[in-house]
Structure 1
Amino acid sequence: MKRCLAGEQAMFTKPLEKSKAATIASYKISHILAKNKKPFYDGVMIKECFLEAAESLFVYFKNKAEIISTIKDIQLSRQTVTRRVATINKNLESQNMNDLRDCSYFLLQFDEYTDATDVAQLCIFIRMIFPDMTVKEDFLTMIPLKECTRGVDIYDSFLK
């Protein structure tokens, strides 16, 4: 009876693990797309590449059908990638806020540049020093400068 019960339970946990793995893969691919500034609709093309490569890579594997099925389960539509990147962004912001709360000291660095659409952007970087004297540097935010780029304008934009 125990063996029978374990077999029945495994039937339910295996699809759950497969779905979880597909979701993690979707997040990782979405992160790579965002990090490399690629269009989010490229996720569909990446999935297509995976499927084509899997056909030849896993020819001699006994579980080829299962591997291809798992690749097909990866969600990489434009909307899904957009949601994944937004979730990753919220998580990174949360980590930055937690680090900022935990640090003993912090330094800000401002960098002003003009983007391709001729809009001045203010990038703010932060360096945090923690009680154990470890240092962490990270991108904090980017603020568009709608008016002039004088020191007082940069200061006022930062305070807002």
Structure 2
Amino acid sequence: MVREIRLTPHYQNVFVKRRKVDTECRVFQEKWTQYYLFTEVNTKPVCLVCNQQVSVLKEYNIRRHYETHHEEKYHHLQGQLRKEKINELLTGLKKQQSAFTRSREVSDAAVKASYLIANELVQASKPFSDGEFVKTCMLKAAEVVYPEKRPAFAYISLSRNTVADRVEDLSGDLGRQMNDKIKSFIAFSVAIDESTDVTDVAQLAIFIRGVDETLTITEEFLELVPMKDTTTANDIFSSLIRVLDKAGVDWSRAVSLATDGAPSMVGRKGRKKVVTQYYENIRSFKLKLSLWETQLSNGDTSHFPCLTAMHVTGLNADLDQYKDKITGLLQEFERRFQIFSEPENEFAFFRSPFTVKASDMPADIQLAM
């Protein structure tokens, strides 16, 4: 059986009053400064005498605080004397707040300085314990050059543990920035190299090079992976996959992998091929770049679906900036593979000896053609 519960008029009025207290909008009134020696700081009523905050912005609470703690001492101050006392108390409060602000600014500057010095120590390959030596030097210099600012330098924490924490924070921030940059790549390539350090441990260096939607090229060192067991192709491949997955790469945007050609690096990929075949691939890509450069110069976007779509939808694309990117890429390609331009005739003779001119060949093989 369900019984209906009804509130008496007395309890109904109690709930209504409580709701009104919770929802009413209270505003600090200037007259409370004159009557009760209070002011407003960050939307909170603060006593000018003892700097204590009142939790609820209501005149009753403010008046009770004044009458309980300060009325006996300040009730005799009236008229101009009371105004002068209020101004004096307000000035003291502002000075105290500015002192707190300066102290906070000094503290923030000291933390920033410790990060900068920790970064310099790491870039110079110095031990973390050198931070204390650096601080001692700074304090000695401050005593001579600017004695008044010596306490500010003393705030800078450069203990061994602090420097280690700063370096860890910087490393984590750089890692997050790198991951964010990698996520913006529309295409990327990877380069790896394996070598042995002084402790006879194989180290796998992994680099990434990518381009974003603005055709900005970024090339960064990702990680140095110690290969403590074996260095087979499977071991290197597993380490590479683990590092790239941790970086959050989109595998559908991978373009190429560059290695030094060692069997453990390329597996079976580098076998049964000669240098002329690689040169053909390089030459083919250079021709593509030249074609794209010419087409973009003429406003032709046939091989660029995104640019074509922008043109169809009425969006104006500045083709010159994309053409300049292609030109820069072609120049970089020419610079990196300029070594192949010297033996180009020899490559042509090796590839098809009956299609080259004898006059272009060295004298010792001209009669043999």
Q: TM-score, normalised by structure 1?
A: 0.88
1:84 Cα deviation after fit: 0.5
Residue from 102, 118, 125 that aligns with 1:14: 102
2:152 maps to amino acid: T
Q: Distance in 2 between matches of 1:157 and 1:48?
A: 44
Residue from 185, 192, 205 that aligns with 1:103: 185
Residue from 204, 224, 245 that aligns with 1:122: 204
Residue 140 of structure 1: SS of its match in structure 2? strand
1:115 Cα deviation after fit: 1.6
Query: Which residue number in structure 2 is paired with residue 61 of structure 1?
Result: none
Q: Distance in 2 between matches of 1:25 and 1:125?
A: 31
Residue 215 of structure 2: SS of its match in structure 1? coil
Q: Does 1:35 align with 2:123?
A: yes
Query: Which residue number in structure 1 is paired with residue 136 of structure 2?
Result: 48
Q: Distance in 2 between matches of 1:21 and 1:51?
A: 16
Query: Which residue number in structure 1 is paired with residue 195 of structure 2?
Result: 113
1:118 maps to amino acid: D
1:53 maps to amino acid: A
Q: Distance in 2 between matches of 1:135 and 1:99?
A: 11
Q: Distance in 1 between matches of 2:189 and 2:145?
A: 50
Q: Distance in 1 between matches of 2:193 and 2:236?
A: 10
Cα RMSD over matched residues? 1.7
Query: Which residue number in structure 2 is paired with residue 143 of structure 1?
Result: 225
1:141 Cα deviation after fit: 1.0
1:15 Cα deviation after fit: 0.3
Larger Rg: 2
Larger strand proportion, structure 1 or 2?
Answer: 1
Q: Distance in 1 between matches of 2:229 and 2:99?
A: 62
Unaligned runs of 5+ in 2: 1-86, 243-369
Query: Which residue number in structure 1 is paired with residue 112 of structure 2?
Result: 24
Query: Which residue number in structure 1 is paired with residue 155 of structure 2?
Result: 73
Q: Distance in 2 between matches of 1:81 and 1:32?
A: 11
Residue 125 of structure 1: SS of its match in structure 2? strand
Pick which of 15-24 and 150-159 moved more.
Answer: 150-159
Residue 116 of structure 2: SS of its match in structure 1? helix
Residue 136 of structure 1: SS of its match in structure 2? strand
Q: Distance in 2 between matches of 1:54 and 1:112?
A: 48
2:207 maps to amino acid: F
The C-alpha deviation readout for 1:85-119, integer Å capped at 9, x for no partner, is: 00001101100111111111111111222222111
Residue 231 of structure 2: SS of its match in structure 1? coil
Aligned length: 154
Query: Which residue number in structure 1 is paired with residue 145 of structure 2?
Result: 57
Unaligned runs of 5+ in 1: 59-63
1:56 Cα deviation after fit: 2.2
Q: Distance in 1 between matches of 2:238 and 2:104?
A: 51
Q: TM-score, normalised by structure 2?
A: 0.40
Query: Which residue number in structure 2 is paired with residue 89 of structure 1?
Result: 171
1:134 Cα deviation after fit: 0.5
* Greater relative contact order (CA < 8 Å, ≥ 6 in sequence): 1
The C-alpha deviation readout for 1:53-82, integer Å capped at 9, x for no partner, is: 222223xxxxx32x1101111000000001
Moved over 4 A (4+): none
